[in-house]
Structure 1
Amino acid sequence: MAATPPVCNFGWKAVDASLIGTDGQNHSILAQAGRRGLVVAFICNHCPYVKAVIKRIVRDARDLREFGVGFVAINSNDATAYPADSYENMKLFAAENAFPFHYLHDADQKIARSYGAACTPDFFGFNGASELQYRGRLDASRKEEDASDLHRDLFEAMKQIANSGQGPREQIASIGCSIKWREIA
């Protein structure tokens, strides 16, 4: 089922946690920040929206380094109900796509809940002071794989944030598969 996250809550402070990455090590979310910002992306392995744009996510993460912006991806989906999103499959997905960033496992879903993540992909763009300045889409492609000539919404917003500390006031929400929440007893 497709989901759309709410609009950007400008100034909201990033939440930190230490989560296991696909390299087998624990990593702090905020330690992934560059001196001018951080993108926290909620993704997963099986979502057709993520699969369609993963090459462009990797490209943008690499390109943003030049502007002092770090990048981290988090998978919070219930791997019991969705085995394709298991930790072992995260390792394969990261390797297959040559992730230049840490891909972290939020097994208990606490981080997704604290961020208010709604879908995969869901992008949170923070300035150098860890204040939210972007909560929008990667680009206009939605689920089209070969859409390389589209405006790079996330990339351009993060360049602006890196240069000014402020995100664009007009943002278009991401759309994707809903986070696969575990049932709470």
Structure 2
Amino acid sequence: MAVSPPVCDFDWPAPDFSLPATDGKTYTLSDIKGPNGTLIIFMCNHCPYVLAVLDRILRDARGLQALGIGVAAISANDADAYPADGFDKMKEMAESRDFPFPYLYDETQDVARAYDAACTPDFFGFNADLGLQYRGRLDASRKEAGPEHLRRDLYEAMKQVAETGKGPADQIPSMGCSIKWKAA
């Protein structure tokens, strides 16, 4: 079932974290933070919504990094229930797809809970002061990639954040698979 996160809570402060990445390093929020903003992407390996647009996520991440936006992706899914989302599989995907950003593993799911992540993909765009400015969609794609000419909602919003410190007032939520939470 498709899930959509809530709309942007402007200036909500980014929760800090310290998570292992597929490149063998451990990253904190300050390691990821860019001079003009920060984008945290909750995603995973198996989600059809992520897989449909992964090339676009990578394209937009590279473009945003060129604008001074720091980018990281976090997988928080229960890898026991969804082995395709395990850390070794994350490493394989990051290497084979040449991720331009750290791909972090939130095994305890504490970071996903702190962010109130709802789905994959779920985009959190912060300004230089780490206040939330964007929690919307990548573009109008859904479970299948839409046409190439779609408006790049995430890219345009984060470009605006890089230039002005403020995100757009009107945002359309992302849509994707629910985060696969561990049993309580």
TM-score scaled by length of structure 2: 0.98
Between the aligned partners of 1:176 and 1:28, the Cα distance in structure 2 is: 26
Do structure 1's residue 50 and structure 2's residue 73 form an aligned pair?
no
Between the aligned partners of 2:26 and 2:155, the Cα distance in structure 1 is: 27
Letter in 1 for 2:143: K
2:70 is aligned to 70
Structure 2: state its 5+ residue gaps: none
Correspondence 1:102-181 to 2 at 5 A: 102-145=102-145, 147-181=147-181
- The number of residues matched between the two structures is 184
1:98 is aligned to 98
Deviation at 1:146, TM superposition (A): 5.9
* SS state at 1:41 partner: strand
Letter in 2 for 1:177: C
Letter in 1 for 2:84: A
Between the aligned partners of 1:117 and 1:65, the Cα distance in structure 2 is: 22
Deviations 1:126-148 (A, max 9, x none): 00000000000000011223632
Does structure 2 conserve the Cα–Cα contact (< 8 Å) formed by 1:76 and 1:107? yes
TM-score scaled by length of structure 1: 0.97
Correspondence 1:12-27 to 2 at 5 A: 12-27=12-27
Identity across matched positions, percent = 57
Between the aligned partners of 1:66 and 1:128, the Cα distance in structure 2 is: 15
Deviation at 1:33, TM superposition (A): 1.6
Correspondence 1:20-39 to 2 at 5 A: 20-39=20-39
Between the aligned partners of 1:144 and 1:179, the Cα distance in structure 2 is: 19
Does structure 1 conserve the Cα–Cα contact (< 8 Å) formed by 2:36 and 2:128? yes
Do structure 1's residue 183 and structure 2's residue 177 form an aligned pair?
no
Deviations 1:72-93 (A, max 9, x none): 0000000000001000000011
Large movers: runs of 4+ above 6 Å: none
* SS state at 2:60 partner: helix
Does structure 2 conserve the Cα–Cα contact (< 8 Å) formed by 1:54 and 1:97? no
Deviations 1:93-127 (A, max 9, x none): 11121100000000000000000000000000000
RMSD: 0.9
Does structure 2 conserve the Cα–Cα contact (< 8 Å) formed by 1:37 and 1:130? yes
Between the aligned partners of 1:141 and 1:86, the Cα distance in structure 2 is: 26
Letter in 1 for 2:101: F
Does structure 2 conserve the Cα–Cα contact (< 8 Å) formed by 1:3 and 1:118? yes
Deviations 1:40-76 (A, max 9, x none): 0000000000000000000000001221111100000
